[in-house]
Structure 1
Amino acid sequence: MVHVEASPGAARLFSSLSSPYVPLGVLYFVQGFPYGLQSGLLPVLLRTRGLSLSHIGLTRVLYLPWLLKVMWSPLVDGVWGRRLWLVLCTGGLGLCCLLCSLLPPGTDLTSLAWLLLLMHILSSMQDVALDAVSVAVLTQEQVGLGNSLQVVAYKLGSVAAGGGALTLLDMLGWRTLFLLLAVGYLLATLCAWWAGALKGEEPAPRENSKETRRRWSLGSVAWSVFRVPGTGWTIVYVLIYKLGEQGSLSMVPLLLLDHGVSPSDLGLWNGILALMASIVGSTLGGMLLGKGRSIHSLLRTVLSVRLSCLVLQTLLLSALGRDTTLVKGEGPLWGDSVMGGMVCLLLSVVLQHFLAGVLTTATFTLMMHCTRQARPSLQASHYSLLSSLEVLGKVSFSAVSGLLVDSLGVSVSFSAFIALSCLPVLHLRNLPATLS
């Protein structure tokens, strides 16, 4: 038999795929594509077609599959292997991008919306399998860095398919743009299939059909999930840990816009600089956890600093409102105090995104530690429940924060945000020993 020696380039490629960080990073990167298309590309296309802001806001219903993914997590746990689910879902996402590339330039955007909904369904199913694979293949020492990689790769993928796609749309054209996204999904599919590091995940156990049907019962799965040690505490935490932060991050940029900050300046601070700070924070959080920093200590520090930042924002917004009301935007007092206050507010927004990056990485690590307490055949369902509730806690409050500010005013509503941000600090005092 003739022995064929692999080329140095191929050897390096397969060596990199033997590390779990590379395939997981690639898969989490392409997982961010649908969110980027939904948040960055679709609203601009709809606005250029003359749709109202209210109608554009209704497109958030396309995120619904991410809240419902726990419903099909037992299917991922009980049928086939998780790597096969990764391959099928990632390949299906590539097919959706291929279909998007075939849409004519002046097509009705309803077709694009349906394809985006299908992409969200497939992406949320891929997320169920990918999270379960991550829990299985990452060692205790790799969990912190692995979660940092997850957050950063997803954010970069959403930026690439959102702002990046919008920037390149006129240069490349609709068809070429979506073909490039389809190629990205194809490469990710091959990575999921060939990566040796992902073969270490434990497959779902083979069961007879009667036992499988029993375990697929939603009530049975829910009962088993809630019996996992630390699950009740973690559920409460993921529902409350972002409430005050989401209200602030949603409202401060809009309030600054009302006070005269230009959209371009706001885009620089709340877009580019904030995203960079968030990525740096996520990376730092993973590095600290990877070096042995305890989750409890890191969460306590970040939550306390975030609370102080929110108090500072409330004071600045209150002072800003008094200045502009008293002097009606005229004279040197307005220029000195208001401009200084707005700069401090912009800096506080960047700081909040940095802290949010650290906090998200630490929280996902905490969720993964909790999921490790479950038996392997239940881990996909368990982590899916936690991540779905984490999304619910963020989305639900950001949707009503504007109503609170309009109804109660800035000072009262931001005081409520501060009170809500105290809840996770207090809740952290009762962290179960199994999660510390």
Structure 2
Amino acid sequence: MKAKYALLGTLYFVQGLPYGLQSGLLPVFLRSAGLSLTRISLAKALYLPWVLKVLWAPCVDRCGALRAWLALSMAGLALACLACAALSPETDFLPLALALGVMNLLASLQDVAVDGVAVQLLARDEVGHGNAIQVVAYKLGSVLAGGGMLAVLHRVGWRTLFCLLAAVYLVAVLYVCKAPVLRLLPRPPSWESQAPAGTLEPRRIVREVLHVPGTPWTAGFVLLYKLGEQGAATMFPLFLLDHGFTPQQLGLWNGMVAVACSILGSSLGGQLMSRQRQPLALLKTLLLLRFCGLSLQTLLLLAYDPHISLLGAAAVLSLCVQHLFGGLVTTLTFSAMMQCTQRADTSIQATHYSVLAALEVLGKLAFSTVVGGLVDQLGFGLSFGGFLLLSLGALLYVLGAPPAGS
């Protein structure tokens, strides 16, 4: 059991590095360079491979060993990091964006393989702890590549940081090649051995995925549940940057301390899930608490004065509280997704989970791409009112869940 958790923790940790880099470091870096919120939000389009990963998930599911997919994708990520190290963000913006897009493509391939490993390795009574490790390790990777890099970038330098990231990926490749627990996985049949050729047809795959009990309701929830929280988590740090906080302060409080609270929430979510094993019942309470926390953060935003130090401390506290609730909600949501996927046939489990995960990313990506323009047009106050309505919508959706979540 410990070997399973160690493997999953390592894989999800390195999987979180590209996300942390692009969500924690780049927005503050670009805003400090004078870019508008609209342009910063459009940079979220680099996450597109995470939505499109459902296109190559069947290939990972049914052709080749998961160990090979993991090793090749992470080796490619190491090369992409070395490419980023050779570029300057000030003068090579377009080549850098291309390199980051390639990183996301390779990370999405790795994600499909890691999710397939998790679904096949974890027993039902291990899902809670497994998903806590999944979310916590992913966020630790995000902290290292996001808040950590932002805090030390001015001292260490761009090139050195990306060389270190490349070294982390190479160590992970060696670990995967030697990990004995991966021998427990069944080898998927090759494409040639699949029974009718139509098995890999997209329409047939979609039908198989949607016929898994609970999938339609779960798909709707993962599209909706994070929207309001994502909008606030993206814009509130930039609001603080515009009102007196420095990039180094945001790297510490938002990139590290607040994410540590998110990790704490994810760990607590895993503990709660391992005891009750019914994520929907817990989600009803937690979504209500998250809505209340976002309401208080919105009131703080409307009354904020950078000359009152107490309000600055309250802003940091609100970041931590929202990340705590966000971590709890995310872990329980991923547990619900994995429980739904475990009802599927083993030949489509990685694909099924990838579809749900892609929908989760799609909801966040689509909204994050336009949220900067929304704030530029409406202002922070009205925009946060919209975030509140979206959070309320997620709460009402769960309160109206069918008995079996189907």
Structure 1 contact 302–358 (Cα < 8 Å) conserved: yes
Q: Where in structure 2 are the equivalents of 1:157-172 lying within 5 Å?
A: 157-166=141-150
Amino acid at match of 1:353: H
Query: What's the CA shift for 1:83?
Result: 2.0
When normalised by structure 1's length, the TM-score is 0.81
Pick from 247, 251, 256 the counterpart of residue 235 of structure 2: 251
Q: Are residue 20 (structure 1) and residue 4 (structure 2) matched?
A: yes
Give the letter aligned to residue 331 of structure 2.
Answer: T
Q: Is the aligned partner of 1:115 residue 2:99? A: yes
Report how many aligned residue pairs link the two structures.
Answer: 405
1:388 to 350, 354, 358: 358
Residue 182 to residue 341, structure 1, CA distance change in 2 (3 Å): closer
Per the alignment, residue 197 of structure 1 pairs with 181
Tell me the distance in 1 between the aligned counterparts of 2:292 and 2:39.
37
Tell me: higher relative CO, structure 1 or 2? Use CA pairs within 8 A at least 6 residues apart.
Answer: 2
Q: Cα deviation per residue 1:282-304 (whole Å; 9 max; x = unaligned)?
A: 11111221233531232111101
State whether residues 168 and 177 of structure 1, in contact with CA within 8 Å, keep that contact through their aligned partners in structure 2.
Answer: no
* Aligned counterpart, 1:397: 367
Change (3 A) 1:269 1:116: closer
Per the alignment, residue 33 of structure 1 pairs with: 17
Task: Report whether the alignment pairs 1:269 with 2:230.
Answer: no
Distance 1:79 1:139, change over 3 A: same
Matched residue type, 1:397: F
Contact residue 143 and residue 256 of structure 2 kept, 8 A: no
Within the candidate set 322, 335, 352, 1:365 is matched to: 335
Q: CA 1:111–1:224 in structure 2 vs 1: closer, same or farther (change >3 Å)?
A: same
Cα distance in 2 for partners of 1:27, 1:372 equals 20
Q: 1:190-230, CA deviations, whole angstroms, 9 ceiling, x for partnerless residues?
A: 22222222222333234546746412211111111111110
* Equivalence for 2:399: 429
1:67 equivalent among 51, 69, 79 = 51
Distance in 2 of aligned mates of 1:28 and 1:110: 28
Find the counterpart in structure 2 of residue 13 from structure 1: none
| Partner deviation per Cα, 1:49-86 (whole Å, 9 max, x = no partner) | x7844655543332111111111111111211222211
Identity score, percent: 49
C-alpha contact 2:146 2:255 (8 A) present in aligned 1? no
The question of whether the paired residues in 1 share the 8 Å contact of 2:61 and 2:188 is answered with yes
Q: Any idea what the Cα deviations from partners look like across 1:151-198, whole Å, max 9, x if unmatched?
A: 121122123233434555566665554443233222211222222222
**CA displacement at 1:343 relative to structure 2:** 4.0
1:86 matched to which residue of 2? Answer: 70
1:214 counterpart residue number: 198
Contact 2:41 2:371 in 1 (8 A): no
Give per-residue Cα distances to partners, 1:311-336, cap 9 Å, x unaligned.
Answer: 32344444x27xx7xxxx9xxxxx7x
Counterpart for residue 319 of structure 2? 349
Deviates most, 405-414 or 390-399: 405-414
Secondary structure of residue in 1 paired with 2:189: coil
The one-letter code sitting in structure 2 at the alignment partner of 1:32 is: G
Change (3 A) 1:368 1:400: same
Correspondence list, 1:132-171, <5 A: 132-166=116-150
Aligned to 1:4: none
CA contact (8 A) 1:136 1:200 kept: no
Question: Which deviates more, 380-389 or 79-88?
Answer: 79-88
Residue in 1 aligned with 2:81? Answer: 97
Give the aligned partner of residue 287 of structure 2: 303
Q: Which amino acid is the alignment partner of residue 277 of structure 1? A: C
**Equivalent position amino acid for 2:333 in 1:** T
Which has the higher Rg, Structure 1 or Structure 2? 1
Asked if the contact 1:202/1:376 (under 8 Å) is kept, the reply is no
Native 8 Å contact 1:230 1:432 kept in 2: no
Instruction: State how far apart, in whole Å, the 1-side matches of 2:89 and 2:368 are.
Output: 34
What is the CA distance between 1:369 and its match in structure 2?
0.6
Q: TM-score, normalised by structure 2?
A: 0.87
- For structure 2, the 5+ residue unaligned runs are none
Partners of 2:374 and 2:294 in 1: CA distance: 16
